[in-house]
A and B are shown apart, each in its own frame.
Chain A
Amino acid sequence: MHYQTEAWGSYMTTRSSTMGDPLERIERLASENAVVIFSMSTCCMCHAIKRLFCGMGVNPTVYELDEDPRGKDMEKALMRLLGSSSAVPVVFIGGKLVGAMDRVMASHINGTLVPLLKDAGALWL
């Protein structure tokens, strides 16, 4: 699991402030790694979801929205995307939205999560 805190710095200096659509950014970040989790450092459900992936041997990329200057906007965008009052945790696999804790757990239980992870290259046999 690696946290993309240093990357924020490079984003701020190299990108212009007009590139600002939070949803676009979310989608871009989501497509850059096999497993991407948007989280908040204080959120315990986020901790649970991280432990789930680590327990499976997956190495997710985590973005802590509360440690990001643009985090608030991204949080709002995620809430709209999910249609839910809580933005985090939310998981993207292979650039595609999987969902919050309930979706992730449901797909793990019904056996669709592991193939998804393998297809995205996050898991090897």
Chain B
Amino acid sequence: MSFTSTQLVTSRRMGIYDPFQQISMWEDTFKGDSSPNKGVSTILQVDARLDNKSEFISHESGGPSSTDQEENKPTDKVQRRLAQNREAARKSRLRKKAYVQQLETSRLKLAQLEQELQRARKQGVYTGSALDTSHVGFSGNVNSGIATFEMEYAHWVEEQQKQTFELRSALQAHVSEIELNILVELGLNHYHNLFRMKADAAKADVFYLLSGVWRTSTERFFLWIGGFRPSELLNVLLPQLEPLTDQQVLRVCNLRQSSQQAEDALSQGMEKLQQSLSQGIGAQSVNAGNYGSQMAAAMDKLEALEGFVIQADHLRQQTLQQTSRILTTHQVARGLLALGEYFHRLRALSSLWAARPREPA
């Protein structure tokens, strides 16, 4: 096991590890260790090195006085320094012990969780616990693609909240454009990841995506082909971004229009699909032989659904990208913040609604 900070950060996101302040210190210590050995031996190796180090420190300080034959008696200053070093080394060893202990217990916890997950997956139970109370995790046919998506989406939401918070802090602190740009790129990339995840989920179960069961109830209210409407996105984003230059106003106007037209086109395509499917299923078959071919034709029609979900996500992605092209870095940052806060509030509304006091029947 290698103690890199990235691994620990990931684990921290899963809520297993406590934040360690000593990370950077230990990183320096471990950097020289390139052995492929597993946990225990690595710790022992490091152990030895650290002990040598602390002893080396005290030895070094005592160096001048021990090699110098003339000044046999160590001065008070040197003695004090020696004591300080010993104390520091002792504290260091204690901290290291505590750290290693925490790591070991967390490692066990992680192994336990992984086992539970495997078991749950085999039983076909979706791990929807990270989502809000109004979400009903349902068991049904074992679909690992969807189980994966549910987990990844829960992380995605967490990460989005973190990014929103960071954007807010950065904007309030008036950070440089370069720093802001990094956050903006992260934010846009985060949405890109969502669409990639959804594409995989669409292959696994397109109806799962279309039903919106993976989102909170208020988000589901706004659902359009498995996600938010591009026009809704613009309505949320753009009022936050005044003032816009004349050229920006023109480009925004064009974007509103073109995204609305594309949205309408896809909606009409979906309606045609519904009609066509309905007609196909509804046609009365006199003999049993027709049933098979009727169903086969209907199955073919359903194949088209995945394409629509992909195109809808593509439209969302393109709309976001074009928005980022029209606006300045600062504006995009404010826009992403607005978007993040909007969805956060929508989700919060869901929870409030679910928890509202109701008249007893």
Whole-angstrom CA separation of A47 from B261 in the bound complex: 14
Among B286-324, those with CB < 8 Å from A are 301, 304, 307-308, 310-311, 314-315, 318-319, 321-322
**Chain B residues closer than 8 Å to A110, beta-carbon distance:** 318, 321-322, 325
Whole-angstrom CA separation of A102 from B314 in the bound complex: 7
Asked if A49 is at the interface of the complex by the 8 Å CB criterion, the answer is yes
Number of contacts between A and B (CB, 8 Å)? Answer: 75
> Count of chain B residues with Cβ under 8 Å from any Cβ of A?
29
Q: Is the interface of B mostly helix, strand, loop or mixed?
A: helix
Per-residue B-contact encoding for A5-38, CB less than 8 Å = 1, 0 else: 0000000000000000000000000000000000
Whole-angstrom CA separation of A86 from B318 in the bound complex: 22
Q: Assess the A101–B322 pair: CB atoms within 8 A.
A: no
> Count of chain A residues with Cβ under 8 Å from any Cβ of B?
21
**Chain B residues closer than 8 Å to A43, beta-carbon distance:** 304
Q: Assess the B272–A44 pair: CB atoms within 8 A.
A: yes
Per-residue B-contact encoding for A64-96, CB less than 8 Å = 1, 0 else: 000000000000000000000010000000000
Q: Assess the A108–B258 pair: CB atoms within 8 A.
A: yes
> Which one, A42, A55, A106, A111, contacts B265 given CB within 8 A?
A55
Q: Is the interface of A mostly helix, strand, loop or mixed?
A: helix
Name the residue among A45, A48, A52, A106 with the largest chain B CB count within 10 angstroms. A48
Whole-angstrom CA separation of A110 from B325 in the bound complex: 9
Q: How far is the CB of A107 from chain B (nearest CB, A)?
A: 9
Q: Assess the A47–B264 pair: CB atoms within 8 A.
A: no
| Closest chain B residue to A104, Cβ basis | B262
The 7 A-B pairs of least Cβ separation, nearest first, read: A48-B269, A52-B265, A109-B318, A44-B273, A51-B268, A47-B272, A44-B272
Using a CB–CB cutoff of 8 Å, the interface residues on chain A facing chain B are 42-45, 47-49, 51-52, 55-56, 86, 101-102, 105-106, 108-111, 113
